[in-house]
Amino acid sequence: MTRELLNDDAGDALTDSDLAELFAQPMAFDDAPRFEAKVVRGLSMRLWMRHWLVVLAGFVGGVYALAQIVRVPNLGAQSLRTAAVRTDNTLTAGMQAMDAAGKTVSNFTDQWGHYLGMMQTPTFFWVSFSLCLMFVGLYYAYSQEEAL
Amino acid sequence: MASSATDLTRPDLTRSGDVDLVRLCQAGDRRAFAELVRRHGPVLRTHLRRMGAQGADADDMAQEAFIAAYEHLAEYRFDGPFSAWLKRIASRRYLKKVRKDARYVLSDDMSAYEPETSVDAGMKAHNLDAALQRLKPVEQLCVTLNFSGDLSHQDIADELKIPLGTVKSHIRRALDQLKSALVSPSVNPVVLDTGS
């Protein structure tokens, strides 16, 4: 193992290059593995949050877009009932179950119908558009803050 | 068995150079990033502490600097040591924080930081970090940015938004104090292990 004296003219004042060598020596950290794990975990968490934020934004955007174009369908089971005519009892039972489910969905959408109507108003559009612009502005400001 | 087979196909990243690790990181290899953190973590944490950041804050800033580096790896030009690039990122982050508290850190009032006339034996034993703690914060900052962060005097003046002459005088004064505090004692020459 090779060893070398940092300052072999012991007793003399340090030179700038001696100081530079001292600055190049890092401290010893007992918790180095813990710090490494913390950094990697922090990065994973940030990437995960960003990923799911994009997914959530896509979902909200998709729902909003659908709200602009979709009308609540009449999920009455007339067509299903017609389709079930002249079929065996098992299929009829299945159709009845689907009828019940369809009615539940229909009731649910009826309850939310006025919200959907509100989402299709110009006021809602401009409010949401302004919010989107604000988020884009905040994102830009954040990216500037994060710039190297 | 499967994991050992996988380990065999994976390269030993501890033997890879920083450039290779950075390229692997750019390809999305988190193991390469972990290796970079393992390799440069102590350097970055030391650099921040020597600039004046306190323990937990220094570690948080080092973590932020690593994550920022990972997210901006495309901006690394491979034109210098990776550790220098990391230090520059960490320095800028610390300086942003410092500017918010500029009245304390960038103060010219020396009264609270007059160096002690008597230097104890422990200080004489090349304890750079203890000697740095005795400097005025702005001197500690300037000398560390210059010697550890490899920033020029002009770069430091630009980053701190103070005159170039002031930076030079801070560094000169800091060096004088460090040299006086760290005079190598003849009874205890410092030996460094080169590890080879």
The beta-carbon contacts of A105-111 under 8 Å, at least 24 apart in sequence, are A105/A75, A106/A72, A106/A74, A106/A75, A106/A76, A109/A72, A109/A73, A109/A75, A110/A72
C-beta neighbour count of A140 within 10 angstroms: 10
Note whether A49 contacts B: Cβ–Cβ < 8 A: no
Q: Is the predicted pLDDT of residue B28 greater than 90, yes or no?
A: no
Q: What's the alpha-carbon Rg for chain A, to the nearest Å?
A: 33
Give mean pLDDT in consecutive 10-residue pieces for chain A, a chain of 148 residues.
39 80 91 94 93 91 80 52 59 78 78 78 88 90 75
pLDDT computed for residue B122 by the predictor? 41
What is the mean pLDDT of the segment spanning B70-88? 92
pLDDT computed for residue A148 by the predictor? 67
Q: How far does the CA of residue A127 sit from the closest CA of chain B (Å)?
A: 33
B contacts of A143 (beta carbons < 8 Å): none
Note whether B113 contacts A: Cβ–Cβ < 8 A: no
Q: How far does the CA of residue A129 sit from the closest CA of chain B (Å)?
A: 29
Interface contact B184-A11, CB threshold 8 A = yes
Q: Select from B38, B71, B189 the Cβ nearest to the Cβ of A36.
A: B38
**pLDDT band for position B144 (cuts 50, 70, 90):** very high
Note whether A22 contacts B: Cβ–Cβ < 8 A: yes
pLDDT computed for residue A140 by the predictor? 86
> Contact A148/B68 with Cβ under 8 angstroms?
yes
A contacts of B80 (beta carbons < 8 Å): none
**pLDDT band for position B98 (cuts 50, 70, 90):** confident
Sequential DSSP letters for B144-177: HHHHTS---HHHHHHHHTS-HHHHHHHHHHHHHH
A contacts of B191 (beta carbons < 8 Å): 3-6
**pLDDT band for position B186 (cuts 50, 70, 90):** very low
The ipTM, to two decimals, is 0.76
Give me the total of CB pairs closer than 8 Å, taking one residue from chain A and one from chain B. Answer: 119
Q: Which of B100, B177, B184 would best serve as a mutation to test chain A binding (most A beta carbons within 10 A)?
A: B184
Tokens of B28: 């999305």
Q: Is A4 helix (H, G, I), strand (E, B) or coil?
A: strand
- Residue in chain A closest to B44 (alpha carbons) equals A26
Top pLDDT among B7 and A119 is at A119
What is the mean pLDDT of the segment spanning B109-131? 55
pLDDT computed for residue B127 by the predictor? 86
Q: Is the predicted pLDDT of residue B104 greater than 80, yes or no?
A: no
Q: Is the predicted pLDDT of residue B123 greater than 70, yes or no?
A: no
Q: Is the predicted pLDDT of residue B157 greater than 90, yes or no?
A: yes
The fraction of chain B above a pLDDT of 90, given in percent, is 52
Q: Select from A2, A14, A146 the Cβ nearest to the Cβ of B183.
A: A14
What is the mean pLDDT of the segment spanning B89-93? 92
pLDDT computed for residue B54 by the predictor? 87
Q: Is the predicted pLDDT of residue B171 greater than 70, yes or no?
A: yes
Q: Is the predicted pLDDT of residue B110 greater than 60, yes or no?
A: no
pLDDT computed for residue A99 by the predictor? 83
Q: How far does the CA of residue B33 sit from the closest CA of chain A (Å)?
A: 8
Top pLDDT among B118 and B86 is at B86
pTM: 0.69
Sequential DSSP letters for B67-115: HHHHHTGGG--SSS-HHHHHHHHHHHHHHHHHHHTHHHHT----GGGPP
Quick: pLDDT tens for B33-56: 999 999 999 999 999 999 999 888
> Contact B134/B177 with Cβ under 8 angstroms?
yes
Q: Is the predicted pLDDT of residue B179 greater than 50, yes or no?
A: yes
- Nearest CA among B195, B130, B184 for reference residue A6: B184
pLDDT computed for residue A71 by the predictor? 60
The fraction of chain B above a pLDDT of 70, given in percent, is 75
Note whether B5 contacts A: Cβ–Cβ < 8 A: no
Can you tell me the distance from the alpha carbon of B182 to that of A127, in angstroms, rounded to the nearest whole number?
65
pLDDT computed for residue B174 by the predictor? 94
Mean pLDDT score of chain B, rounded to an integer?
Answer: 81
Scanning B140-169 for CB atoms below 8 A from A yields 144, 147-148
Query: How is residue A14 annotated by DSSP?
Result: P
Scanning B28-47 for CB atoms below 8 A from A yields 30, 33-34, 37-38, 41-43, 45-46
Note whether B70 contacts A: Cβ–Cβ < 8 A: yes
Tokens of B146: 């210059």
pLDDT computed for residue B196 by the predictor? 36
